[in-house]
A and B are shown apart, each in its own frame.
Chain A
Amino acid sequence: QSALTQPASVSGSPGQSITISCTGTNSDVGGYNYVSWYQQHPGKAPKLIIYDVSNRPSGLSNRFSASKSGNTASLTISGLQAEDEADYYCASYASTSGSVFGTGTEVTVL
């Protein structure tokens, strides 16, 4: 099972919006509504920010939103803030292997 494909890095200025893509196949992203997104700050454990394609956990900022079209899922961060600087990973249920993560995207706030 190959990792889902994400851009290596994305950057934006404070207040701007950025979008991170996550591309898979019909056997993972495109086949199930079990796409999730995780934020990971350096030296910290990952934190769930989106589940089941577009749902936010209770208490999470509504600046984070997500969607899916075909085999590609997307995470949008609106009103970019310095604290959003982190690595972001998508993940999906995969029929062939159970679960698969994306390659990860480093978000830089300029």
Chain B
Amino acid sequence: VQLLESGGALVQPGESLRLSCAVSGFTFSSYGMSWVRQAPGKGLEWVSAISGGGDRTFYADSMKGRVTISRDNSENTLYLQMSSLRAEDTALYYCAKHLGGGRTFDFWGQGTLVTVSS
């Protein structure tokens, strides 16, 4: 199982960014996926989740309305579209595979860094 995030960058406050997570080694469409972030020196924070088929999405209150999670099962890729970025969104963003039907994250990528600063 491999998960490889990309798309992280230095952006200014108010700008948008799309993160990607390319996966391999498992049947992507059979598993839910999540984005989890970690601000520098801080703890883990769940951001968003999507079902295997992509028909159900879930968001943390901290980013609701500013992020959209999506997936392309034909390309084995997970996405996170972020808008109206703030300094407090600065973090390492991980994608994580769900274990079965519960909200357990059994495989993680190495993360992609998003820095929001003027």
Chain A residues proximal to chain B, CB less than 8 Å: 1, 3, 34, 36, 38, 40, 45-48, 51-52, 57, 89, 91-93, 97-104
Contacts and interface: CB of A to CB of B under 8 A. Distances in A.
Interface string B74-96: 00000000000000000000100
B103 A93 contact: yes
Interface of B: 34, 36, 43-46, 49, 58-61, 94, 99, 102-111
Given A48-B106, A57-B106, A91-B103, A97 B43 contact: no
Given A99-B34, A104-B43, A45 B108 contact: yes
Given A34-B103, A48-B105, A101-B46, 5 more contacts: A46-B105, A46-B108, A51-B99, A57-B106, A99-B34
A93 B60 contact: no
Q: Main secondary structure on chain B at its contact with chain A?
A: strand
A45 B94 contact: yes
B45 A36 contact: no
